[in-house]
Amino acid sequence: MAPPGYAASRSMATPHVVPHEAAGDWFFGSLLHYFKKLDKKSKRHSASTGCQTDGTQTIPAPCFGYPSLVSFLQVSFSPQDNAQVCITGNGFFKLFKYSEGTLKQMNLQKGEPQNYLCHAWLSKEEVICGTDTGKLFLFETGKLHWETSVECKKPPRELEEDVTTNEYESSDVSSGLAFEDNSSQKDSLTQISAVAAYSKGFACSSSPGVVLLFEKTKEKEVYKESQEIWLPQDLFSSEPKKSGRQDIICICFSPSEETMVINTNKNQLYMFTMLSTDLTKEKAAYFAYLNFPLHSAPITGMDICVWKPILATCSLDRSVRIWNYKTNTLELYKEYQEEAYTVSLHPTGLFCLVGFSDKLRFISLLHEDMHVFKEFSVRKCRECSFSNRGHLFAVVNGNVIQIYSSITFENINNLKGHSGKIHAVKWSTDDAKFVSCDTHGAVYEWNLLTGKRESECVLKSCIYSSIALSSDAKIIFAVGSDQTLKEISDSSIQLEVSAFGVVYTAVAVSHSGHMVFVGTSLGTIRAMKYPLPLTRDFNEYQAHAGAVTKMSVTNDDLFLLTASEDGSIFIWKVYDKGDGILKWEKEVEYAEEVLIMRADIEEKSQAMLDLQIRVKELQTENDYQLRLKDMYCNEKIKELEENFTQEIGSLKTKYQILQAEKEKQELQHQFQLSELMNKQAREVQQLESDSNQKILMENEKYQELQVKSQRMQEEYEKQLHNLEESKSKAVRELTEYYEEKLNEKSVLLKETEEDMRRQLQAHEEIKKQIEEDEDREILEIKIKYERRLSEEKASNLQLEGEIGVMNKRLNSLQEELKERNRNIEEMRLEQQKLQGIIKSLENYIFALKTEIQARTNAIQDKEKHIYDLKKKNQELEKFIFVLDYRIEEFKKQRELRENDIKTMKEQICEMEGELERFHRESTQLKLNITQLQQKLKATNSKMHRERQKKQNMETFIKRFKTDLHNCVGFIQDSRKMKGGIRELYRKYVNQSDLVETEAADRDLQQEYMRQREYLERNLAALKKKVVKDQKIHQAAYMHIVQENVSLIKEINDLRQERKVAHTQVHDLQSTLRLTKKKQAIQDTAPSSELLSSPAVLRLNAEKESENIIEMQQLEIQYLRDQIQEKGQILAVQPLLVGNLPKMNLEKSHKTQQQ
């Protein structure tokens, strides 16, 4: 990847190849030659065994003792020794050393083969390797020295969110869980994808999105994990969690090891300052972008504008980005849900067109966001372009080019005629002409006024990928799949320039018309002058790792911008060979206007007002705090001055006491000196006797060691002689054995000359392997015996060194004894002189000290007594003042607490009244419910009666029907008919019954309708009341719960205040006791008569304060008991409220209606 800012200094002059001064180029050539030989052998091996060879670098396993092919993944030189090479791969770890023109293997692989993904040199002898199973192996001189396994790591954010995610996942759908399980399985597979070494240890990537730092220790574990560094989540991304779980491909450190840079599989570069690891002791840290987030997929579209020095790009990573090619910065960035195929900037730089897989969107480029202003139903739009004046824009919809107005968004014209996919469109400078090309080799020039083709050039053998127009729109430059650059004018190809074996993918022309720039499929860029040269007269620059997709030249011809399939953007400065940087006739002034949404402005203005108000409040608070601090500092200064004056007085007294102690200690020191001198004389005599004995013992040991060393030398010489003889015998036997074998093989070769021709290669390989094995065995035997010789020589040297050390110790002891004897003699002389002086002075000092001590003791006792009495008076006065102040504070606190308790009692009374009201309403509701239940039972009994009446009527009607049917049988005989009708009338008809039944039926129907309407009204009213009651109950319940919480908090606060008050009371009681004791002492002392009457009054006040405190304690205990009772009631109260019946609010409802 090469983002803007890293490739901004590329120039368009002739390139110069700078040689790398690596101290192993000749060795690398020989290594390549060696690997070519191995590659040839592997090809022969695969051809003989019938295996198909792919593109991977493989070597035949029989060369190194493995049964299958091995793939190389990394080859590196040792930074300390340019003759050492490390090669790792799948089941392969080898160390080679280049000497005498050949590569020699340094290690023998043991144990199970691992898939080594990466390695790094820690020192000249140590190599750290990482495997696909999450294991780290440390090899020292080719042997396994240490290994460890790294567990799968979870980022700190996921560890914090584990609890919430588990609760959410328990209630989620099973289909969502399946996807999460798959992702977790992928993350749980740990593999060491990258390793890099630094001075303290090494860094490795074990899981996606994390780098672990290992530091060297002196414990059994050679290296220990010290820190985790995680990738940050990109908040602008549509999937921020995935942005923090990228696979890390490469790790590198700066030469000073101040920064670490990593590269991910999504082409992102991150950095981390290593100095922060020393300062912060947190285990988890986070990377930061090296500059800004880059494209992680091929770039499909790029465009520039006139007003601003910006370019817009879109990519298959579903992102649209706005870059500034002057400052080399990323100005805007947004990810979408669909892939973006093309982008075009409005000439003002305030709008852009982006073609997505589902729609074409007209986007406003705001200050910090991209706002979709208009959407067009154009699917998979691969090309779009604004006109140079910005009033039109062209959109490719399949094989049709649609022209829209960028002001009214109306479809003005449709350009039809292409049969293939349209790959590029271009506007002329005056927007009068329009040029397009497609995959069927057609280049059309359109007239936008008529909507028809003015000219065309068709070459079906070529698939055009890009076109460019000259400033006068007379010449079209086109590139395609036929490896040529075409100059088209007047509907025909005027000139074809060969690409010399490369496919051209993009073309751009400078606005001056003097230069033509071409991008190739290899990622190179060619700069050629116009008119186009037919020979290789151009400058070629290697830039991208993939094919160049888009190219454009800025309006001032100073910059060339290129984008590629590798996701990189290059900004090139255009130079003239002779004059340097090209200078434009007029300096371009770019616009600095930016679009902002009205809502954003209002939010920011409101935030500004809030901040201004906050600033004013903070200023007032700061002024008030400064005043308080000044007051506090002044008080503190006064206190300190008083303390200093007191301390000075106390220090003076201490000074006098210390002088007296000093004199005492001087006498003690003189006495101790005399004792020490006597002890020293005794110790010197003992040391002399001990040292003489030790010297004799050391001489004896030295003689014994000399005898032992002579014996050891003789034994080792004999062993060496025997070893040399055994070695020479072994070599002779081996040579004789192999000579006999060679003679036998020569006889066999003579007899089987014909078979020898067929199997010559196999015998040579076997012979080489046998010789290598013999060489190895001989080397191992040599190494063993050489090690033994070196060990024996080392032991001899150690013994000689010990003997020398013993001799040196003897000499040093003798010198020390001489020096000590000299010092002892000097000390004796000085001691004799001092003893005479000390005796004369001691007598004189003793006489003086006795007199001084008697006088000073009497003075000190009197001064101490006076000072103690004064000090006690001062302390008592201060203490009484403090107690008075505290008593006043406690009175104030008591009044405040009494007020709080009164308010709490009133609240409790109100709550009890509400509870009684709730109980009354619940009883009324129960009565209403019982009444309604009785009414329902009455209606059910009436319904039952009516049903029985209905059944009786139905049987009555059936009988009437049967009698009628029988009467109808006499329809021909009139007499019988009359008789039957009269009988029917007698049976079934009665006038009073008729009237009564009709009236009863009417009354029943009216009563039934009235009862039904009444019940329906009651039901509707009851439903409304139930809903209202539920709401009121919920509100009341929440109110009671909140009050309970506030009361519990207040109770806890009161308990804490009670504890504080209890401690203060205890302190006051202790201080009062002390004052009483001091008062009693003062009463007994003779100076108690000097106490004034105000002090007595203060002591009486102290007794009164004790009584007050006891009264307050009793009141606090009484209040505590009441609070505990109320707390118990409130603890039971929520349960009662939850089981309360529903309220009857008929009365309140009627009052509201009235």
| pLDDT at 986 exceeding the cut of 70 | yes
Q: Which of 1130, 1115, 1121 is nearest to 1049 (CA)?
A: 1130
List pLDDT tens digits, range 755-810.
Answer: 667 767 777 778 778 878 877 888 888 888 888 888 888 888 888 888 888 888 88
Residue 610, both tokens: 């809030």
Q: Are 534 and 505 in contact (CB under 8 A)?
A: no
| pLDDT at 868 exceeding the cut of 60 | yes
Q: Are 18 and 554 in contact (CB under 8 A)?
A: no
List pLDDT tens digits, range 578-624.
Answer: 655 555 555 678 888 888 888 888 999 999 999 999 999 999 899 89
List pLDDT tens digits, range 699-754.
Answer: 888 888 888 888 888 888 888 888 888 888 888 888 888 888 888 877 777 777 77
Type of residue found at 879: F
List pLDDT tens digits, range 24-80.
Answer: 333 344 444 444 444 444 443 333 333 333 333 333 333 333 334 456 788 999 988
* CA–CA dist 426, 345 (Å, integer): 13
Going by DSSP bridges, is the β-strand pair 411-415/569-573 parallel, antiparallel, or unpaired? unpaired
**Strand locations in 670-724 (E):** none
Cβ neighbours of residue 838 under 8 Å, at least 6 residues apart? 670, 674
Across 171-185, 536-550, 658-672, the highest mean pLDDT is recorded for 536-550
Confidence of residue 188 (pLDDT cuts 50, 70, 90): low
* CA–CA dist 875, 1077 (Å, integer): 14
Report phi then psi at 594, rounded to 5: -140, 145
List pLDDT tens digits, range 1094-1153.
Answer: 443 444 555 666 676 777 677 777 777 777 776 666 554 443 334 434 444 344 444 444
Q: Are 1126 and 1047 in contact (CB under 8 A)?
A: yes
Q: Are 655 and 863 in contact (CB under 8 A)?
A: no
The rounded percent of the chain whose pLDDT value lies above 90 is 22
Cβ neighbours of residue 35 under 8 Å, at least 6 residues apart? 57, 59
**Cα(first)–Cα(last) distance of the chain, in Å?**
82
List pLDDT tens digits, range 17-26.
Answer: 222 333 333 3
Residue 339, both tokens: 């892939």
| pLDDT at 540 exceeding the cut of 70 | yes
* CA–CA dist 571, 11 (Å, integer): 9
Residue 400, pLDDT score: 92
Rounded to the nearest integer, the mean pLDDT of the chain is 79
**Distances from the Cα of 1061 to the Cαs of 440, 895, 1055, 1057, in angstroms?**
96, 14, 10, 6
What would you report as the CA-atom Rg of the chain, rounded to the nearest whole angstrom? Answer: 54
DSSP secondary structure string for all residues of 984-1021: HHHHH--HHHHHHHHHHHHHHHHHHHHHHHHHHHHHHH
pTM: 0.51
Residue carrying the six token digits 């691969």: 382
Residue carrying the six token digits 């505590």: 1120
Residue 1024, both tokens: 């409304």
Q: Choose between 857 and 405: higher pLDDT.
A: 405
Q: Are 72 and 90 in contact (CB under 8 A)?
A: no
List pLDDT tens digits, range 74-104.
Answer: 899 998 888 889 999 888 888 888 888 888 8
Confidence of residue 653 (pLDDT cuts 50, 70, 90): confident
* CA–CA dist 28, 530 (Å, integer): 43
Worst-scoring range by mean pLDDT, 69-73, 154-158, 829-833, 1074-1078? 69-73
* Burial classification of residue 30, based on how many CB atoms lie within 10 Å of its CB (0-12 exposed, 13-18 middle, 19 or more buried): middle
Residue 581, pLDDT score: 53
* CA–CA dist 612, 363 (Å, integer): 35
Q: Which of 316, 844, 933, 283 is nearest to 564 (CA)?
A: 316
| pLDDT at 689 exceeding the cut of 90 | no
List pLDDT tens digits, range 461-515.
Answer: 899 999 999 988 889 999 999 999 999 998 899 999 999 889 999 999 998 888 9
Report phi then psi at 1034, rounded to 5: -60, -45
Residue 1100, pLDDT score: 53
Going by DSSP bridges, is the β-strand pair 284-286/223-230 parallel, antiparallel, or unpaired? parallel
Q: Choose between 753 and 834: higher pLDDT.
A: 834
* CA–CA dist 394, 433 (Å, integer): 12
Residue 1091 neighbours by CB distance under 10 Å: 16
Q: Which of 456, 473, 572 is nearest to 513 (CA)?
A: 473
Q: What is the 3-state secondary structure (H, E, C) of 350-367?
A: CEEEEEECCCEEEEEEEC
* CA–CA dist 376, 7 (Å, integer): 36
Q: Choose between 2 and 578: higher pLDDT.
A: 578
Confidence of residue 547 (pLDDT cuts 50, 70, 90): very high
